[in-house]
Amino acid sequence: MKNRGRTKPKKNQWADHYTQKARDENYPARSVYKLMEIQKRFQVIKKGASVLDLGCAPGSWLIHAAELTGPSGRAVGIDLKPVDAALPPNAIAHTGDIFEMESTLGEAVGQDYDAVISDMAPATTGRKDIDAARSFALCEAALRVACGLLADGGNFVCKIFQGAEFKQFENQVKSRFTSHKIFKPDSCRKSSKEIYIIGLGKK
């Protein structure tokens, strides 16, 4: 069928806009705009803070977290994949699996973080129940890390694929933080099941 006058199909407009914007602004992934929206709404990262970024590749949250903390703060990332992007001097990326590293992570990256942010996502299978269960397992690992390595009063951001386990995870976050919020940034694909749980003020 002919494309009558439209230069691009509508369904690709979201990807085109944020992908191009990330390219123009020198971020390795468009996901940076999700962190920007979260930060604008909840101010999870303060100037001078130390931030632990779980699932940091290809590096856009890590770079932006380092920008938000400024040179007096630091951003430390962990991912299964190495980060190839050039990082600011106050950011560093480690390669590894959170499930294998979580019990000894404090020895490798230090403790008393002001914010733990997790954008970790499993490789998707197309089966929504399986993908949500795997996302939940990553979220529980992220929360264990946050509870172990956050300073009192620290903040937590965690991506989760909505599914049967969502409420259970929300309750876990609720019990460990003074307040919690559920937030879907406008820059998320509308069709995506991902959503962010934000824990403010670790108890």
Ligand X SMILES: C[S@@+](CC[C@H](N)C(=O)[O-])C[C@H]1O[C@@H](n2cnc3c(N)ncnc32)[C@H](O)[C@@H]1O
Based on the residue annotation, tell me whether 159 is a catalytic residue of this protein: yes
The single residue of 159, 181, 184, 193 carrying the catalytic annotation is 159
143 close to 156: Cβ distance less than 8 angstroms: yes
> Is 119 marked as binding a ligand?
yes
Instruction: Please check whether residue 83 is in contact with residue 56, taking contact to mean a CB–CB distance below 8 angstroms.
Output: yes
- What are the beta bridge partners of residue 83? none
Number of C-beta neighbours around residue 4 at 10 A: 5
Residue 61 marked as a ligand binder: yes
Q: How far is the CB of 195 from ligand X (least distance, A)?
A: 14
The amino acid that residue 166 corresponds to is F
Region 144-183 residues binding ligand X, contact defined as CB under 6 A: none
- The answer to the question of whether 186 is labelled as a binding residue is no
What pairing do the DSSP bridges indicate for beta strands 150-161 and 194-202? Answer: antiparallel
Residue 77 binds ligand X, judged by CB under 6 A: no
Q: Which residues in 109-128 contact ligand X (CB under 6 A)?
A: 119-122
The length of the chain in residues reads 203
Q: Which of residues 4-63 bind ligand X (CB under 6 A)?
A: 28-29, 31-32, 55-61
The answer to the question of whether 14 is labelled as a binding residue is: no
Q: Which is nearer to ligand X, 44 or 57 (CB)?
A: 57
Contact between residue 181 and residue 42 where contact means Cβ atoms under 8 Å apart: yes
> Residue 133 is inside which H or E element, if any?
helix 128-149
Binding-site residues for S-adenosyl-L-methionine sit at 59, 61, 79, 97, 119
- The residues that touch ligand X, with contacts defined as CB under 6 A, are 28-29, 31-32, 55-61, 78-81, 97-99, 119-122, 138
